[in-house]
A and B are shown apart, each in its own frame.
Chain A
């Protein structure tokens, strides 16, 4: 074959664009050989026959293709460069070849049935969804089949049992301590011949003997490693789903299955703020109808009725009582009037003894009475006609006057009674009840009006406890209370009543104890302060002076005696101003010895005057 170079015209530009290695000393060694080789290039025989002359040529190996590809005119399966071959035989490839099942159809479910699922029964065909009927469901069981069945069952049972027992035994034995694997304490000797045999290694020896032993394990040692549980990967590849996708949920269904969140009446761990109607929703208040018992209405009705009745009864009773009272009053008045009439009639002289005027409302009856009187008087008049007429006229006049006066008096009494009952005070009664000091204040009576007349004192000023003592405070002091809340208890109050001296024998009587206490020298220093005289009690004045000179001058106390006499000793009003619990204070300051103004009386030891 003529080479291509001869066919084409020679190149115009030179092709040497790369580095000329020939002059380079480093490359010289290497490329010199390659040049030599290139120069002595041997044209390898190309195995590929030429085009149009390839009949009978069957390329089977990679080299048969030369450096090219497959030959389309050669009708066999060709794998230039090894491409396109069946990879199933090679493990680790992730490509499944298309396979064909028994009927000649492509098995599309090969994916599903690979790996683990190849050992399992996987349903992936449409015919697995189609309903079928078992044909032998109709057949009756025959005895042979029964026996066969039994055999099958027994076999299965036995097999399963054996398998399970094996597992169980392993588990059981693992738990028992005597089955712990025992270590063999035998040692193994190994002859080792290292590859490096120079003097430096192994100190020139050609072989080494190594003793192998099992490391002794402490049987009581706890496990060294912590087993971490790794979640098992889902075992088999997914199985095809043999049903239509689930129907979408209707709104009604969704509403039906809605479960409201749980809102506890007790716990709220995340501290949510939940509106009140949601809080109460769980109670079920909205679902229940509140039913009120009828008895409530009955009760209220009966109460109302009872109240009405009670009111009526009370009114009736009060009316009846009033009437009774009125009657009695009338009776009394009548009696009084009778008495008064009697008295008057005795005073006036000739008055008909039988004329006892009765109730005032019997004015109508009076004429009758008079009539009655008149009848006996008429009888008398037959004896004394002239006199009786005059007398009668006078009597009538007098009686009229009496009637009028009676009426007036009754009216007054009624009014007064009414007023008193009402609580009203007429002017007269009001003025009568007033104190003189009130009247002075109102200007109805003037103070000291009566010269040398009777001095009228206000009743409220008398019989008072405090008198001058109460509230002699200055204007700026705000003493709301002038007296304590509780009245001062007498010293010998009911709080403490000394009982009979029980411990007298043991501890000595009260007097003895007192003497002991009084005479004790415990609280007296052995040596007082230098320059200071002993003082028995607290000081009364800021600076206490000693009256040595006075005492010395007056050994018998005569001067004192005289001064006492002049003073008059104890006087009636001496203690005025000292009793009471409140102490007068200058300004707002407190004096010494004033301790809070408590209402408790204290035993004030006073110097006798």
Chain B
């Protein structure tokens, strides 16, 4: 034990993050966000059944897409094709062509709401997970062909990660387990049972590192695991006393976690030290308990953070440029 405390990496200083823009345009809780690979726009899906596309630099609304009949719980933008994928509470997974701004494909097969989805970085494959405790692997070009159905979870699959190397799919579920899947055979090769409560968010460093690790968040705990074998590394050093709905890491090693009670904590990835705790304020006119964060995502550069909240706003954060290690923690 002593060994480890001595060798624990020293936390790196990061300047604090603050809100610089609030976009209030959705009519329902904003549930999901995804960025364009060219970093010009981002899209948000909400409980008002629309997907809105926003300009990143100015924050103005560019397009509203309708077509879902239920809340849109997950979004993914493809890096190789001009496609946007969306999955919602209405069991539909839709593929939108961004050149024509309409749905070109719909993937039928989920038995109930689709809560999470991820696109494979190198293959043309979409993985979606939902309330029916199954992850379905779809070939993007084909309409209704599920390449694999990843069974094994006992409860809703709430978060998914895809990687170019093994394990290619990592799924976290409400049955508190994380499974690492072999995509070739469609079978899990490891189950991590370290969490006590449901795993609602997964994230990993955007770079394709070899010594990669991923982090998983459930209520009050964030754990880091090593890849490719999924060994447990360590917990984060503080406890954010709330249900953590969303997590994201940027290249600088700043991890942001958003909780159901509106708390936004910022951590140093390597050391697990929490350097900033902030609280979002629900926009005026909403109830007190509507302050909660449902999704967050960094932009491609990692300098801007977009949080989607339960009070129907989208808040954009950036680092305080003027802060120095002397003035702030």
What residues of chain A have their CB less than 8 Å away from a CB belonging to chain B?
A: 119-123, 128-134, 136-139, 141, 145, 149, 152-154, 156-157, 159-161, 163-164, 167-168, 171-172, 232, 235-236, 239-244, 246
Contacts and interface: CB of A to CB of B under 8 A. Distances in A.
A139 B165 CA distance: 20
Interface in B1-25: 4, 7-9
Contacts of A149: 208, 210
A161 B233 CA distance: 31
B193 A241 contact: yes
B134 to A, nearest CB: 11
Interface residues on B, range: 35 or more
Given A123-B231, A164-B123, A164-B184, A172 B142 contact: yes
A175 to B, nearest CB: 8
Interface in B177-230: 177, 180, 183-185, 188-197, 208-211, 213, 226, 229-230
A133 B164 contact: no
Interface stretch (B60-68, B94-102, B144-152): B144-152
A232 B194 contact: no
B290 interface: no
27 contacts: A120-B189, A120-B190, A120-B191, A123-B230, A129-B232, A132-B232, A137-B213, A153-B122, A153-B165, A153-B208, A156-B166, A157-B122, A157-B164, A163-B183, A163-B184, A163-B185, A164-B123, A164-B125, A164-B147, A232-B151, A236-B191, A239-B193, A240-B193, A242-B192, A243-B195, A244-B196, A246-B196
Contacts of B276: none
B234 interface: yes
Contacts of A160: 123, 168, 183-184
Contacts of A172: 142, 145
Q: For chain B, what secondary structure do more than half of its interface residues adopt (helix, strand, loop), or is it mixed?
A: loop
B79 interface: no
Contacts, number: 116
A134 B188 CA distance: 24
A170 B283 CA distance: 53
B295 to A, nearest CB: 23
Contact of B142 (A138, A152, A168, A235): A168
Given A122-B190, A164-B183, A167-B147, A132 B234 contact: yes
A164 B149 CA distance: 12
Contact of B211 (A130, A134, A163): A134
Contacts of A161: 123
Given A131-B234, A164-B125, A123 B192 contact: yes
Interface of B: 4, 7-9, 122-123, 125, 137, 139, 142, 145, 147-148, 151-152, 164-166, 168, 177, 180, 183-185, 188-197, 208-211, 213, 226, 229-235, 270
B194 A129 contact: yes
Contacts of B211: 134, 136-137, 139
A168 B183 CA distance: 13
A101 B35 CA distance: 49
A244 B235 CA distance: 14
A134 B226 contact: yes
Contacts of A236: 152, 188, 191
Interface centre among A120, A159, A236 (most CB of B within 10 A): A120
Contacts of B208: 149, 153
A17 to B, nearest CB: 68
Given A131-B4, A172-B142, A156 B210 contact: no
Contacts of A145: 210
B232 A159 contact: no
Contacts of A242: 192-194, 232
Contacts of A244: 196
Given A131-B233, A132-B4, A153-B122, 18 more contacts: A119-B189, A122-B191, A123-B190, A123-B230, A130-B4, A132-B232, A133-B7, A137-B211, A137-B213, A153-B165, A157-B123, A160-B123, A163-B183, A164-B184, A167-B147, A168-B142, A168-B145, A243-B194
A242 B177 CA distance: 10
Given A120-B190, A123-B232, A132-B4, A138 B9 contact: yes
Contact of A239 (B122, B191, B197, B232): B191
A148 to B, nearest CB: 8
A119 to B, nearest CB: 7
Contacts of B4: 130-133
Contacts of B137: 164
A429 B148 CA distance: 116
Contacts of A168: 139, 142, 145, 147
A167 B137 CA distance: 12
A129 B233 CA distance: 8
Contact of A137 (B123, B151, B197, B270): B270
Contacts of A133: 4, 7-9, 233-234
Nearest to B122: A157
B168 A156 contact: yes
Nearest to A152: B165
Contact of A167 (B148, B168, B193, B235): B148
Contacts of A123: 190, 192-193, 230-232
